[in-house]
Amino acid sequence: MSYHASNPRIAIVTGGSRGLGRSAVEALARRGVWSILTYNSNRAAADEVVVAVEGAGAKAAALQLDTGDTSAFPVFAEAVGKVLGAWGAERFDFLVNNAGTAHHAPLSEVTEEAFDTLYRVHVKGVFFLTQKLLPLMADGGRIVNLSSGLARFAVPGSSAYASMKGAVEVMTRYFAKELGPRGIAANAVAPGAIATDFGHGRVRDNPEVNRMVASATALGRVGEAEDIGPLIAALLSEEGRWVNGQRIEASGGMFL
């Protein structure tokens, strides 16, 4: 699976309007990959990404999607089909399940409502969106699910969120096993703490948190979105074709 301008590969990237998702979309564009990116509420930010992609010589389309609302998935799949048709394509090649919500609270204070919200977005949403889109996915395609370094190391206050990411990692291995006959590879990328607006910019904007992360990281700094997006694009490239069913941590060496 190589990239050619005459036969562009197409990716779907959830949560592609900001942060890691935007970085992935733009890194893919630099490799000639077209993207259908989703946004939850900020259409203006999504439109900015579309402009940036087109500036890189690729194409993009932005579709609204709440990945925690499975009832919206059939309509979304129809919308994807229409975009593909407009681009002269029948199938898309890559699915990046990136969209997510943050959560930070001690175990004793996690509410059922917060837990259920995390589950709908990070576990149920990832599973059933993938299921819904599989008929539109090309054989030989790739899936990247976003996990977290928190699925390996434990930081107080992250029990609910990290549990969801642990489920994502198990799910990813099953995707790889069951979709292998179609030549579809599935991997999980597990970022460490990244300085974006995720979690209200906690890592980016809180000096104490920033220093703590940097001191616990072998490379001595917090991560940036551009540390992750190009890695995702590389996994989806021809060079990543034999990586399958793996958890790939990109944390700069946190808590080694």
- Looking at residue 51, the DSSP 8-state letter turns out to be H
pLDDT of residue 7: 79
**pLDDT tens digits, 7-35:** 799 999 999 999 999 999 999 999 999 99
Give the chain's radius of gyration (CA, Å): 17
Q: Which two tokens stand for residue 113?
A: 């409502």
Region 202-222: what's the mean pLDDT? 83
- Report whether pLDDT(159) > 50: yes
Sign of CA dihedral 157, 17, 184, 227: negative
Mean pLDDT, rounded, of the chain: 94
Residue 162's nearest CA partner among 98, 221, 107 is 107
- Report whether pLDDT(89) > 70: yes
- Report whether pLDDT(82) > 60: yes
CB 203 within 8 A of CB 161: no
pLDDT of residue 212: 85
The strand pair at 185-191 and 137-146 is best described as parallel
pLDDT band (50, 70, 90) for residue 195: confident
Question: Which carries the bigger pLDDT value, residue 206 or residue 142?
Answer: 142
pLDDT of residue 5: 46
- Report whether pLDDT(194) > 60: yes
Question: Which carries the bigger pLDDT value, residue 1 or residue 9?
Answer: 9
pLDDT of residue 2: 42
**Residues of the chain above pLDDT 70, percent:** 94
What are phi and psi for residue 184, nearest 5 degrees?
-95, 125
CB 203 within 8 A of CB 111: no
Mark whether 161 is an active-site residue: yes
- Report whether pLDDT(6) > 80: no
Sign of CA dihedral 166, 256, 205, 106: positive
DSSP string, 147-190: --GGGTS--TT-HHHHHHHHHHHHHHHHHHHHHGGGT-EEEEEE
Q: Which two tokens stand for residue 132?
A: 């819904």
If one counts every other C-beta atom within 10 angstroms of the C-beta of residue 123, the result is 19
Give the DSSP H/E element, type plus range, for residue 27.
Answer: helix 19-30
Region 214-232: what's the mean pLDDT? 94
**pLDDT tens digits, 110-130:** 999 999 999 999 999 999 999
pTM (two decimals): 0.94
Q: Which of 3, 39, 119, 161 is catalytic?
A: 161
3-state class of 144 per DSSP? strand
**pLDDT tens digits, 126-140:** 999 999 999 999 999
Nearest-angstrom CA–CA distance, 85 and 173: 31
| Largest Cα span, the chain | 56
Q: Which two tokens stand for residue 8?
A: 């562009």
Domain 10-250 has CATH 3.40.605.10: no
Q: Which two tokens stand for residue 169?
A: 């990692």
Q: Which of 1-5, 12-16, 23-27, 50-54 has the lowest mean pLDDT?
A: 1-5
CB 248 within 8 A of CB 235: yes
pLDDT of residue 38: 98
